[in-house]
Structure 1
């Protein structure tokens, strides 16, 4: 397996500059942060709020402040989160495929985030190595402890609350890989899908990964079919994730997601889609026709950087497409982003089959 990973990593590294996830935008539109912070501080220090609530809010702020501190030196680096069960052992094939995934992604330039514990979380970190491992641990009276790879690292945090932990995962991730796991893994996976489906998270590739020939994710796909039959989700929601039985194929899917797509930014009633390279003329025409209803009367127009983007000068030279913002159909936007690579013969633009 070592030679196979090394060979594939060479391929990835050869395409790294073109296809790796770009640094996350950190532009904040709000201009009243100081005033809001002072107002919240006054409330926390007053007698108007019960201690029962104060304890929750202060604990949450403490965790998020620690999270900010440990991410400061790696915030601009691409990251992949690997979710999975704590109970899988190193001789399990699903443990091995998670380890391979961590190694491939670290070799491609990504930091590998896991829950910091044993099982699949440890596997992802073993593959990545201590230098490229990040751990968002959860404090539990059983099962969870920092694994031997991440223990003592400056890039590990112990969280009291699951909700802050999941916020950290999804705020930092440029890609998400869900491996075999239990209720905790399902919680993380379904929150990711929900945030992508509702547009509450920026578009990132989401992968369901398991061992070669595995059937673990069969039940989830069967449930998705039931949800479609009941009308509680749409079939197009299946564009939000892809299932793979190979770490190489999963990594290739992630790599292809960022082959041409760079980032998006909403500016007033406009959506700016930043690209790493222009679309071929025929593909541009196809996308305009296929997504005409979503794009609207403004159309999808090539433009230089907008004046409002002057706070991101490092992105000014990128080609970009601008359309009227349509926040009511986030899945359509996700599909459009994946369609940007349609001219590349790969899995990156297909819907998950059931």
Structure 2
């Protein structure tokens, strides 16, 4: 049975005749499941129209939906390949140490069978693509008047370049498709992307992922950033000490890529199901390792223990990698920095 076909949409227009017409349209469209969700998407459009939504607001929804649909289609053939997003300045010179290091990081990621995502611009972004090669690269670009575009630039990504009008849909795509992050020094855009990424992880809106802050040898860019964060945010009680454990600072390309890659030695992904958190594993853990996790991370639990588990019913229904081994816990949904450390500990205990 196709996923979503038996689920009833929870969201209607309130007009019985119009709701039936939308239902009939979706049923006639020969869709591959998810009828409930497509019904709700069409319903949202109809409700916006009936609410006399301003045309400018409708344009935002229209553009974002089209951009995201295109992004999903571009990434779909590569869903089983891990991808690392690399951020950094568009102004980095080709003869700089940062440029050379970014190229090396791209090469090492591709050699590890990872693909790379960049913002699709010059500087650090182009350096990474040069290292990884077009076949292993994606460009997730924002349409700006002062950065390159067109067919010649798209060729850097072997056709896998996606242009966005809005930063929010671009950043959503970068975080949705990435399993790891390497961030080079950059300006406002790089800092914006980095701080939003850390916010998403701190609040649990993004899954645990490796985040490397890379500074070339002799550069103190990220150490200076960390000093500011420690003095102004940590000492001021605005963040918790564990929040800084989400990032790893290095000046070594080999160490950077190893940190990203090794994060997934045991860990695969997570999924929340009701009040339980399922941690999906590439390989099962020993009884001794499970005892260690319970001893060291009991503070993450609202009750019970970290235990082995079968896939939840909804994971099976969604065919969401149900065959992988799993751990299950009642997570307190507050200590996401500690959850990040638990994932790292899994690899250490393997």
Q: TM-score range by the shorter chain?
A: 0.7 to 0.9
CA distance, structure 1, for counterparts of residue 333 and residue 43 of structure 2: 30
2:220 corresponds, among 195, 215, 218, to 215
| 2:200 matched residue in structure 1 | 195
Between the two structures, name the one with larger relative contact order (CA 8 Å, sep ≥ 6).
1
| 1:277 matched residue in structure 2 | 283
Q: Is the 8 A contact 1:129 1:149 kept in 2?
A: no
| CA deviation map 1:23-66 (0-9, x unaligned) | xxxx9899631221121121344461111211221121121122
Return closer, same or farther for 1:329/1:317 CA change in 2, 3 Å cut-off. Answer: same
Q: Is the 8 A contact 2:118 2:125 kept in 1?
A: yes
| 1:261 matched residue in structure 2 | 267
| 2:131 matched residue in structure 1 | 127
Structure 1 residue 179: Cα displacement: 0.6
Structure 1 residue 307: Cα displacement: 3.3
Q: Is the 8 A contact 1:288 1:295 kept in 2?
A: no
Q: Is the 8 A contact 2:83 2:117 kept in 1?
A: yes
Q: Is the 8 A contact 1:122 1:149 kept in 2?
A: no
- Tell me which moved more, 119-128 or 160-169: 160-169
| 1:185 matched residue in structure 2 | 190
| 2:42 matched residue in structure 1 | 38
Structure 1 residue 294: Cα displacement: 1.4
Aligned-partner SS, 2:304: coil
1:86-125 paired onto structure 2 within 5 Å: 86-125=90-129
CA distance, structure 2, for counterparts of residue 30 and residue 133 of structure 1: 39
| 1:301 matched residue in structure 2 | 307
TM-score normalised according to structure 2 size: 0.85
Q: Is the 8 A contact 2:86 2:128 kept in 1?
A: yes
Aligned-partner SS, 1:298: strand
What are the ranges of 5 or more consecutive residues in structure 2 without an aligned counterpart?
10-35
CA distance, structure 2, for counterparts of residue 30 and residue 238 of structure 1: 43
Aligned-partner SS, 1:283: helix
| 2:230 matched residue in structure 1 | 225
Return closer, same or farther for 1:66/1:303 CA change in 2, 3 Å cut-off. Answer: closer
Return closer, same or farther for 1:284/1:305 CA change in 2, 3 Å cut-off. Answer: same
What are the ranges of 5 or more consecutive residues in structure 1 without an aligned counterpart?
1-26, 345-354
Q: Is the 8 A contact 2:129 2:157 kept in 1?
A: no
CA distance, structure 1, for counterparts of residue 184 and residue 155 of structure 2: 19
Q: Is the 8 A contact 1:205 1:254 kept in 2?
A: yes
Superposed CA RMSD: 2.2
Residue 47 (structure 2) pairs with residue 51 (structure 1): no
| 2:69 matched residue in structure 1 | 65
TM-score normalised according to structure 1 size: 0.84
Residue 112 (structure 2) pairs with residue 83 (structure 1): no
Q: Is the 8 A contact 1:86 1:144 kept in 2?
A: no
Structure 1 residue 283: Cα displacement: 3.0
Structure 1 residue 201: Cα displacement: 0.6
